[in-house]
Every structure is written in C-alpha cells, then in structure tokens.
Structure 1
Amino acid sequence: MCNKNISCILTTQATIQIVTKQMTYYGPIILLIVGIIGCLCNFLTFTSPKLRQNPCAFYFLCSSIFEFLTITFGLSTRLAADYLGSNLQNTNRIYCKIRAYLVSAIPLIATYFILLTAIDRCMSSSIHIRLRSFSQMKIVYRSVIITILIGLLSCSHILITYDLRPKCATLYGAYAIFDGMFVVFWLGFIPHILMLIFGLMTLIHIRQMRRRRPQLKIITPIEPKRPRNDTKTDTQLILMMLVQVGLSSLLTLTRMIYYAYYILGPSLTGYNKMIGSFLMSFTTLLYYTNYAKSFYIYTLSSQLFRSVFLQRLKEYGQKIFNLNPLVLKNVATSQTR
C-alpha cells in the first residue's frame, strides 16, 4: 500500500511543500490585482450622486477605503518579506511595531464598517419611527469617526508589546495567547456574530413591514428629515449587505477558528507541522480574500450597483473622450501661432 511506502510519503510531503510555496507566491499577487481593481471600482460607484448621501452606501464606501489599505499594505509587505528579500520587519524596530499595528487596526476598522452597514439596514427597516431615525447622515459621520478612533485605540497595545525578539514578535507567554485571542474575538467572532444577528433582525423587520404596510401611516413631522431613499435602492442595499455579511463571516471565521487552534492547540511536528503550515497559508489567503471580494459580490448581487457602476464608467468615458478634441484643438491653435 502507498501509505506504507516511504517514497510515497516523501513524494506527498514534497507535493505539499510545492503547493504551499506556489500558493503563498501567486495567491497574494492575484489578490493584490483583483482587490485593488475592485476597491477602485467601489470608490467610483459609491461616490455617485445617487449613493453618496445614503447612510448604508457611505459605510460601504468607508469600508472599501480601508479594504484597499488592508490589501495594498498587508499583502505587499507580506509578499516583500516572503519572496522579495525584504528583511526590514526583523531588523527595524519601528517598522516592526508599525506593521504589526497597521495589519491589525486597518482590517479591524474595515470589518466594523461592514457591521455598521448591518446595523444601519436593521434600523432603517424597522417599523418604529425612532429606530428609523438613526439611519441619517449626521449620525453616520459621527459613527465613522468613532469607529476609526476605537479601531486605532483598541490596537494600540501592539505598539508597546511588539519588538525584535530577535525577530519581530509579541511578548512571550500569557500575553502571546492574549494577543492571539484579541485578534480572534475582536476582529473575528464579535463583529461577525453581531453582523449575523443584525442581518437576521433586518429580515425580521422586512417581514414585519410587509405585514403592516397596509396599516402604516405617512411619516409624521416628528421624524427627523433625511434624504428620500427609493424603495428599490434600500432593497438592493439590504441584499448587498446580507450577501457581504454572509461571505465575510464564512471567510473570516474559517481563518479565526484555525488561528485559535494554531495558538491554543498542541505543538505540531513533522508531517503534521507541514499540514499546519499549509492550512495557515490557505486560511491567510481566505482572510485577505475577504477584503478583496466586495466589488465582485456587489456586482453579482445587486442590479442597482451594476447600473450605477456602468453609468459612472460612461460618465467618465464621456469626459475623457469629450476632452480630447478640445486638447487637440488648443494644441493646433498654439502651433499655428
């Protein structure tokens, strides 16, 4: 049998090593390209006049900005350290601290902006006027500032504890476990469980709204004024939020479950260590995929997003092509003079 053959085992190990190496090399490059293009397209779409004054869309825009920073900084520095010969992380103390801090704080903020979209859709779909009043731009602006401050401050302990030991690492012992659990719970389980809860509550609110729609009265003057959102726009944004929350939870929690096992589980040796290295690399790619997928998820799940995106492309295309004749005319005039 092959499993009793030493040569077969060695071949399997070599195959795993090759797959792991190829995956950790080509995976980040693909995610960098796909993610950067997607985030730029998100920025183009969510800054459209039709969406930029919508609270949920504004949270999506803020999340896209921090997803862009997560991909460009996190993946590029990881790729540089693994394959481009950069050893700055393990030789420069300041860079060690700053990188460890940013690769935790930036994705944390992006994740909590998605949580805010779930909260906003939950509030806006409520049958209660007071809850619906929380979905307005003046509250959104405050929430964005508070979320960024909480994300930056909550990760500030990393600036103190990470250092060259001799490689860039956190304090050993109990704090190392705390640092790992901080990432698992504060970035993984807590926001995504809350996302799922608010997503479920949104579905419940939609059902309640449909049942009571014939009895609902026109909004009273007591309710704070906010931009009138088309029903179709709200419905499409809810769909985008639900799909984003579901896939984000799947990808991130898969990574966090294995990361928790890696920290708290038994030390791996030999063949098991090789499998563990493969799973760590694979779940890391899943983690970064979460921040590269948004544009493609929105495009597939929302007809509104597709139409706004195509309209924005058309607008910029017209500006570019309408500008060229003017430029050529001015150049020709200057040459005749």
Structure 2
Amino acid sequence: MSSSNVSITEASTIRQNTIIFVQVWCYLMISLGTIGHTCSVYVFTRPTLRSNSCTWYFLAASMSGAGVVLINIPLRLLQAGYAINIYTNSLIACKVITFIQQWTRAQYAWFTALACVDRFLCSSSSATLRAYSSLHSASRTIPVTSLLVGIALFHIPVYFQINMRQQTCVPMSGIYQTFFGVWNLVIFSVGPPLVMLCFGLRTVQHIRGSIQRTGATNVAVRTENQRRKTTDRQLIQMMFVQCVIFMLTASLPSVQFIYTSVRSSLVIDDLQSAKDNLFYNVCGFVSLTVPCLSFYLFTLSSKLFRCELMKLFNSKWRSQQITVTSTSLKRRN
C-alpha cells in the first residue's frame, strides 16, 4: 500500500473518530447539563439561598449555562456530528449564530466572576462596600453585564466569515484571527478566572479579619456571624473549584485560534486537515465543560448546596408517601 493511500486511510479514521467523539460528548453534555441546570435553578431559588445576592449571580450563571446546553451544544452536534451545517446556509446565519453562542458562553463566565466580587463586597469591613452587596445591586448588575458582554463581542458579526473548505464559520484569516484568539483568551478564558481568583483571595482575608473582630461579642451575635460565614465559605469553595477548572478548560479555544493563525499560510494535506479538525473539535467542546456541568461541581464542592438539593428529593418522597397513604385509606373506606 502506497504512502498516499495510508494517509487517506488515516485521515478517514481520524474523521470517523472525530464524529464519534462529538456525538458521545454532545449527548452526554445535553443530558447531564439539562438535569444539572434544572436542579441548580431549584437550589438557588430555595428560601435559604435566594435572599443572598451571590446566589442571584450563580442563578444567572446557571441560566446562561442552560443556554449553552440547549443552544451551543445542539448546533455543534448537528454541524460536526451529522454534517447538518446551518452556519454555512448564509453569511448572516454564520455571523448571528456565532455571536449568540459566544455571548451566551461569555455571560456564564462573567456572572460567575461577579459572584466572587459580591462575596468580596459582602465580607468587607467597609459599610460602603458592603452596601453594594445587595439584591438591588444584583438585579441591576446582571442585565448591565449581559449588555456589556454583547457590546464587547460586536466585532464578531463584522469579521466572521464562512470557510468553504472546512464548511464552518471562522474569524477572518490574518491579523483578526490572531486578535480574536487573544481577545477570546481575555474576555472568556483568563479574564473571568483572574477576577475570581483576585477577589476570592481578598474575600478570605476579609473573613479572617472579621472573625478576629467579632471574637469578643456575645454568644448570640457570634452564632449568627458563624452561620453567615459558613454560608459564605461554602459559596467561596464553589467559586474556587469553578475558577481552577474553568481556567484549565476555557483557554483551549484561544490556544487553537492562535495555533491556526500562526499556521494559516501553510499548505496542509488531507491527513493534517483531519488532525486539525479533531484538535478544533476537542478544544471547542472541552471548553464548554464547566458551563454545562457546573451543577456537579457545586454538588462536589459545597455541603450547603448538597443539603438544599436533598430537600428536593425528600419533599418529593414525602409527597409520594402522602399520596400512597391517602389512596390506601380511600380504598379501605
């Protein structure tokens, strides 16, 4: 068998493996993500948590994550898994759909970062800063952030185009492709995690200082402060876990865009094209892990979240028991 035939066979195998990876990954993310975000919305709207402004940011992040699960993932599944490519139907579809996908994904990152900023404000010794950690501030900050993220991505409808060879919607080759890789790294991959990390560390310092300041107060005040600080620490744990995993996964598309822009002038064969396509899909889908599976990270990292979640299943179990008991009594009568 000639080397060209071997290359064609390898390229075909890689493309087939890419399709299998995309299908398995997407169906897994859609099923787990839908269940997870539904449970997250339930937990964050519980009376115990919904009065906390940080919870509103987590709730907004969960809804954005649900958008990723129900919009981004199915469209990518159709494109890469079944060769149904709505991106290339028209240039307008390419630009608009890509903008919506990037906007939804970036919103999730910044809402999570705002939750960390809120914890920093809430734990501050300054009454002025603490005043900004409120439901009133959260109700205004969330829509403003959503608008600003959309404005920050205004260049996508201008400079994205259809790549007929790869049958996908990509940044315009050249300087903009490099710019988009760096911009995506800042606006989505590195910027939000750095905000989480910086404000999270400052929050820890605030909590330690607060414990020292309240050490001499009466028992009732210390008990209430301890309860509040326990909730705050649980929320901080949830943010730190997301920060680390988010930074590791979300930077992959930026690396891929920079890699593609550096090699844009090279002429590649069919085998290398198949490898690049596999790399593109792996980076793109893995970067959506945290927006899709945040519920499971919350569950693993926070005892408070697990306790509130268990109330959902306990209440359902009790309602079923009451229904069964009522039915049995009616039959006896």
TM-score (norm 2): 0.82
Instruction: Give the distance between the partners of 1:263 and 1:73, measured in 2 at CA.
Output: 27
Residue 186 of structure 2: aligned partner: 185
Structure 1 Cα separation of the partners of residues 328 and 94 of structure 2: 51
Change (3 A) 1:328 1:177: farther
- Residue deviations 1:68-99 (CA, integer Å, cap 9, x gap): 00121011011112233423321234432321
Give the equivalent residue in structure 2 for 1:295. 295
- Residue 243 of structure 1, CA deviation: 1.1
Give how far 1:129 is off. 3.0
Give the equivalent residue in structure 2 for 1:309. 309
Q: Measured at CA, do residues 6 and 215 of structure 1 come closer, stay the same or move farther in structure 2, by a change above 3 Å? A: farther
Query: Residue 23 of structure 1: CA displacement?
Result: 1.1
In structure 2, the residue matched to 1:20 is 18
Aligned twin of 1:59: 57
Q: Does structure 1 retain, via aligned residues, the 8 Å contact 2:22–2:81?
A: no
- Which residues in structure 2 correspond to 1:1-337 (within 5 Å)? 16-162=14-160, 168-214=169-215, 230-265=228-263, 267=266, 269-270=268-269, 272-319=272-319
Mean alpha-carbon deviation: is it higher for 320-329 or for 240-249?
Answer: 320-329
1:193 is displaced (CA, Å) by: 1.8
- Displacement of 1:146 after TM fit? 0.9
Point out the more displaced range, 105-114 or 128-137. Answer: 128-137
Distance change in 2, residues 1:92/1:130 (3 Å): same
Aligned partners of 1:183, 1:9: CA distance in 2, in Å? 34
> C-alpha displacement at 1:104, in angstroms?
0.7
Q: Residue type matched to 1:249 in 2?
A: M
Question: Within 1, Cα distance between the matches of 2:186 and 2:235?
Answer: 27
What stretches of structure 2 of length at least 5 have no aligned partner? Answer: 220-225
Structure 1's 326 and 129: CA in aligned 2 closer, same or farther, altered over 3 A? same
Deviation at residue 317 of structure 1 after TM alignment: 4.7
Q: CA deviation at 1:32?
A: 1.1
Closer, same or farther: CA 82–16 of 1 in aligned 2, 3 Å? closer
- Structure 1 gap segments, 5+ residues each: 219-227, 333-337
Report if aligned partners of 1:268, 1:276 keep a CA contact under 8 Å in 2: no
Q: Shift of the alpha carbon at 1:52?
A: 1.0
SS of match in other structure, 1:293: helix
Q: Secondary structure at the match of 1:214?
A: coil
Task: Spell out, residue by residue over 1:279-324, the C-alpha distance to the aligned partner (whole angstroms, 9 max, x if none).
Answer: 3222212111121121111111111101101102333454566568
Partner deviation per Cα, 1:245-292 (whole Å, 9 max, x = no partner): 121112112443343333335647345544433332222121111211
What is the CA–CA distance in structure 1 between the aligned matches of 2:46 and 2:64, rounded to whole Å?
19
Which residue matches 2:222? none
Distance 2:137 2:243 in 1: 22
Distance in 2, matches of 1:249 and 1:286, equals 12
Confirm or deny: 8 A CA contact 1:184 1:260 kept in the other structure.
no
The C-alpha deviation readout for 1:217-239, integer Å capped at 9, x for no partner, is 99xxxxxxxxx973321221111
Q: Structure 1 residues 62 and 328 mapped into 2: Cα distance closer, same or farther (>3 Å)?
A: farther
Per-residue CA distance 1:147-194 (angstroms, 9 max, x = gap): 111122222332344455766445444334333433222122222222
One-letter amino acid of the counterpart of residue 180, structure 2: D
Secondary structure (helix, strand or coil) at the match of 1:86 reads: coil
CA contact (8 A) 1:184 1:259 kept: no
Q: Distance in 2 between matches of 1:162 and 1:327?
A: 62
1 CA distance for matches of 2:317 and 2:180? Answer: 48
Contact 2:120-2:202 at 8 Å conserved across structures:
yes
The amino acid across from 2:79 in the alignment is: A
Percent identity over the alignment is: 24
Between the aligned partners of 1:195 and 1:261, the Cα distance in structure 2 is 27
Question: In the superposition, relative to structure 1, how do residues 237 and 94 fare at CA in structure 2: closer, same or farther (>3 Å)?
Answer: same
CA–CA distance in 2 between the matches of 1:149 and 1:27? Answer: 31
1: CA distance between counterparts of 2:33 and 2:105?
A: 14
Residue identity opposite 2:73 in structure 1: L
Q: Residue 174 and residue 8 in structure 1: after superposition, are their counterparts in 2 closer, same or farther (change >3 A)?
A: closer
